[in-house]
């Protein structure tokens, strides 16, 4: 078995995912912890992290942490790096909190309408994906990280030049938990999902399009248990139709989907319906690669 040399953590709002990594990136051990930063009391992060180190036998390892742990809700504030940015700027912005623990900064941008945009964690995933194959850092790339707050990122010759956040996943969660679209049904009806993608059109007038999830049931007799799947398709369909245009992407520009493979599969289905080519890459592997590359850059 490989020998672990680094503790790598993606510490988000709801949970913490930790890995011990060998020098070549091989995972020696991994574990999830249920204490995301939203569940921490003020000043609690160091004690919780000590539990992580103990659980993984990593008390003596250096550690690299990314995600919301670097926000004002987390361990300490890791100031944002301004976009456009690249790997060297991210590495230079690492915050040392002592005991060989470093936290990755987030990235901020002016935003598509001048009102600002931010990310924490996705930058590590992005630059990890780029570092895995040097050829990826050549030319222009359009990258989407699906999720609660989906990130669409424009990358030019290995530098993040612009990004846009879409609250696609959060809207789905809110709409299925409250109001007239509330449902406990699983979103696993692919025919209804495809119907929703088609109903999304070009992603405009989203508030009006959302009501069709109600009208198709009470007015057209569609099964109520298909609402979650239809709504998922509508929201993802609107996302893939409209958000990338805010980055001046072409209608048929290929997309790299980087994140949870299952969720990326739904985005791929919606993109395919629009005739857009895409490829899927595992976001967890990219996060590990990014944390390892950052550690090597400063070790």
Angle in degrees, 0-180, between the axes of helices 227-242 and 261-273, rounded to the nearest 10: 70
Q: What is the pLDDT of residue 250?
A: 86
> Which portions of the chain are predicted below pLDDT 50?
none
Cβ-Cβ contacts under 8 Å for 246 (sequence gap 6 or more): 112, 152, 164
Q: What is the pLDDT of residue 109?
A: 98
**Does any domain span residue 140?**
yes
**Does any domain span residue 262?**
yes
**Does any domain span residue 249?**
yes
Q: What is the pLDDT of residue 239?
A: 98
Q: What is the pLDDT of residue 251?
A: 84
List pLDDT tens digits, range 137-181. Answer: 999 999 999 999 999 999 999 999 999 999 999 999 999 999 999
**Does any domain span residue 180?**
yes
| pTM, rounded to two decimals | 0.95
Count the alpha carbons within 13 Å of 297 in the hemisphere toward its beta carbon. Answer: 20
Domain assignment of residue 118, given as a range: 113-299
Cβ-Cβ contacts under 8 Å for 257 (sequence gap 6 or more): 143, 144, 145, 146, 264, 267, 268, 271, 278, 279, 280, 281
Distance CA 117, CA 151 (A): 10
Q: How far is CA 193 from CA 196, 232, 255, 263, in A?
A: 5, 6, 20, 13
Work out how many domains the chain is built from and give that number.
Answer: 1
Indicate the pairing of strand 150-156 with strand 27-33.
Answer: unpaired
**Does any domain span residue 89?**
no
**Does any domain span residue 35?**
no
Distance CA 231, CA 196 (A): 6
Joined together, the tokens standing for residue 281 give: 């890459």
Q: What is the pLDDT of residue 45?
A: 96
Q: What is the pLDDT of residue 168?
A: 98
**Does any domain span residue 92?**
no
The CATH number of whichever domain residue 279 belongs to comes to 3.30.420.310
């Amino acid at each position: 078995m490989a020998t672990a040399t680094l503790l790598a953590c993606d510490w988000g709002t709801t949970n913490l995912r930790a890995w011990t990594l060998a020098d070549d990136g091989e995972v020696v051990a991994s574990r999830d912890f249920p204490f995301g930063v939203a569940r921490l009391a003020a000043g609690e992060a160091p004690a919780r992290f000590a539990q992580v180190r103990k659980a993984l036998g990593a008390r003596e390892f250096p550690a690299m942490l990314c995600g919301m742990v670097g926000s004002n809700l987390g361990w300490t504030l890791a100031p944002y790096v301004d976009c456009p940015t690249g790997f060297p700027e991210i590495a230079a912005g690492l915050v040392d909190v002592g005991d060989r623990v470093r936290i990755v900064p987030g990235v901020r941008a002016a935003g598509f309408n001048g009102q600002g945009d931010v990310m924490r964690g996705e930058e590590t995933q992005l630059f990890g994906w780029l570092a895995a194959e040097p050829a990826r850092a050549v030319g222009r790339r359009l990258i989407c990280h699906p999720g609660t707050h989906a990130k669409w990122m424009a990358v030019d010759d290995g530098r993040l030049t612009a990004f846009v956040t879409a609250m696609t996943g959060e809207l789905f969660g809110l709409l299925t938990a409250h109001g007239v679209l509330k449902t406990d049904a699983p979103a696993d009806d692919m025919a209804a999902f495809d119907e929703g993608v088609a109903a999304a059109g070009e992603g405009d007038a989203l508030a009006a399009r959302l009501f069709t999830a109600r009208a198709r049931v009470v007015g057209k007799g569609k099964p109520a248990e298909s609402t979650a799947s239809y709504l998922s398709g509508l929201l993802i369909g609107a996302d893939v139709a409209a958000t990338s245009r805010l980055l001046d992407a072409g209608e048929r520009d290929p997309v790299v989907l980087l994140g949870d493979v299952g969720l990326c599969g739904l985005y791929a289905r919606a993109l395919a319906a629009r005739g857009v080519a895409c490829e899927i890459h595992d976001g967890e592997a990219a996060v590990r690669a990014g944390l390892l590359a950052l550690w090597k850059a400063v070790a």
